[in-house]
Each structure stands twice: as C-alpha cells, then as structure tokens.
Amino acid sequence: MRILITHFRAAAARFAISRSVIVPMLIGPIIGAMLAAASVAAQDATNVVTIDNFTFTPPELTVAVGTTVKWVNHDDIPHVVVNKDKAFRSKALDTDDSFSYTFASAGTCDYFCALHPHMVGKVIVK
C-alpha cells in the first residue's frame, strides 16, 4: 500500500511538472499572435484614409515607400478611388468596403473619386 501511494505521488508530481511546462508552451504562441495582430492593427490605423460625408480624411497623408494605404468608405453611397495618373482605380466601394494600394516608389499621388470628382486627396510617398 505504501508503495502504491508513493507511485501515485510520483505520478502526480510528474503531472504537475508537465502541466507547468505545457501551459506556457500553449499560451506563449497565443500571446505572441495577439501582440503581432495588435502591432499590425496599430500600423494600419496610421495608413487608413476614411471616406465620410464625401470627404477623404486625412486629405493629405505622408507615408514611407512600401507602405500600403487603405481607403474605407463610411458613406452609405458608393465611391471610387482613382489615381490621377491612373496607377490605381478601386471598384465601386459600398458602405464599409475598402480598397488598398501599396506605394512602391516615392512621389506625390493625387487621387479623386470617379463618381464625385470634387472629392480629392493626396498621398505623399517619401
């Protein structure tokens, strides 16, 4: 009987050790993924142009070469984001639709809405 109890205690101790090792192994990558997602979201927030009430906000955005800019339409009517030099043209963006474009070289990008040409904006790539 004494031997059985000793074996049981040893098994319990092994279980405790394995759990203390396995739980951090499982939680580590989850926390890592959460941190990675948070940093991507933070980066995105600075490179988003929103469309509200027929206005691009911010009207002028300065980014580094290689940056992806995302336009998000918050209006309840469609808009189309078009580069003046025809480098890009979005599809018609319905409410909450978005369009992304990566700026591969430096320069000034003037854009407007194809449906409402008085809507204009600018991305300066440095």
Return residues touching Cu ion (CB under 5 A).
79, 113, 115-116
Minimum CB distance to Cu ion smaller for 113 or for 123 = 113
Minimum CB distance to Cu ion smaller for 2 or for 118 = 118
Minimum CB distance to Cu ion smaller for 67 or for 93 = 93
Minimum CB distance to Cu ion smaller for 116 or for 122 = 116
* Residue 56 contacts residue 119 (beta carbons within 8 Å): yes
Cα 72 to Cα 94: distance, rounded to the nearest angstrom: 9
Q: Could you tell me the smallest distance in angstroms from the CB atom of residue 63 to Cu ion? A: 22
Q: Could you tell me the smallest distance in angstroms from the CB atom of residue 92 to Cu ion? A: 9
Cα 19 to Cα 7, 12, 13, 14: the distances in Å are: 18, 10, 10, 9
* Residue 82 contacts residue 56 (beta carbons within 8 Å): no
Q: Could you tell me the smallest distance in angstroms from the CB atom of residue 78 to Cu ion? A: 7
SS3 91: coil
